[in-house]
Amino acid sequence: MSGRAGGPTPLIVALVALVAAGLVGWLLWDASGGAADGAGHPVAATSAAAKAASPSGPSAPSAAASRPASGRPSPARSGDGGTASPGPSAGAGAGVTDDEAPRADGPLKGKVVLVDPGHNIRNSEHTAEIDRSVDIGTGRKECDTTGTSTDAGYAEAAFSLDVAHRLRTILRNQGAKVVFTHDGERPYGPCVTERAAIGNKAHADAAVSIHADGSAVGNRGFHVILPALVKGGAADTAPIVGPSKELGARIAGNFVRVTGSAPSNYIGGGTGLDTRGDLGGLNLSTVPKVFIECGNMRDPQDAGLLTDPAWREKAAQGIADGITDFLRG
């Protein structure tokens, strides 16, 4: 991704090699908290550089990829388009609330989690609507983007929604109320203003936007995107930078532990975390929020994981465990 703004907040880290269940990953601990962070929960470090639910798997319809098959993702595929008015089928900040009651005695009872499945499988049919330029506080970007896909045509939008559904089930069983930004019911979008507004209106205790990247072959691994400290227009991330970094670190550490995937080898300097100020979904959020790029759809090895339903279940569990760690302190 390009067009960065703002820089990361430094975080002292130490890398600890993790060997569990026959898988080797990097477990990153917050050196400023260490084992005293509560219960020795795994966390990851901030990058030193400035720097989604269709159960049908690979046969799901493809969205047109807006990123090149090699090199870094194009600006049009940012994991976020920008901000704009909502689509014709929803009011601003409406969202889709889980229609099943959460478990009454779960450890997350009383907590609200915003889950944002990246893109929309039908965005490519509404290019005029999603391409319109909108204000994200630090500049202007598209309302939304189409996302990427594997070479075989499995769309990022289908992946993100599948993982979102799995994540919702896990969180509901933990007692949380889950709100979606969309559930595949819309003709396109929502635009990122609305994605942010839904979490804000719900007073979410945590929010996560689910994506997969589209970079060069050989670029592998996941990374979590944290909000930079930005202020401009409707954007003011000062209240959420700290808690969002903690949320992202918890998710990254648990994602390694559960999936066995390593942090990205091309973004984040091996930490699994990246800080950005050019994403409207983060800039406009007033609640702790992160993005996760679960892997690189354009790399055959990562694509093999992303198209595997069993691995997607692990991905959802890793994200859920990170959210739970964050919310329980």
Known catalytic residues? 293
Characterize the bridge pairing of strands 13-20 and 231-232: unpaired
Nearest residue to 225 via CA among 206, 247, 204: 247
- Using CA atoms, how far residue 101 sits from 97, 169, 177, in Å, is 10, 11, 8
Residue type, 134: V
3-state SS class at 215: coil
3-state SS class at 188: coil
Burial of 75 (0-12, 13-18, 19+ CB in 10 A): middle
How long, in residues, is the chain?
329
Q: Which helix (H) or strand (E) element contains residue 200? A: helix 192-201
- Rg of the chain over Cα atoms, rounded to whole angstroms, equals 18
Residue 166: what are its φ and ψ, rounded to 5°? -65, -40
Are 105 and 44 contacting, i.e. CB atoms less than 8 angstroms apart? Answer: no
Q: Which residues make Cβ contacts (< 8 Å) with residue 314, sequence separation at least 6? A: 258, 259, 260
Measured distance CA(114)–CA(70) in Å, rounded: 32
Nearest residue to 152 via CA among 36, 45, 54, 60: 60
Measured distance CA(252)–CA(159) in Å, rounded: 19
Residue type, 121: I
Are 85 and 190 contacting, i.e. CB atoms less than 8 angstroms apart? Answer: no
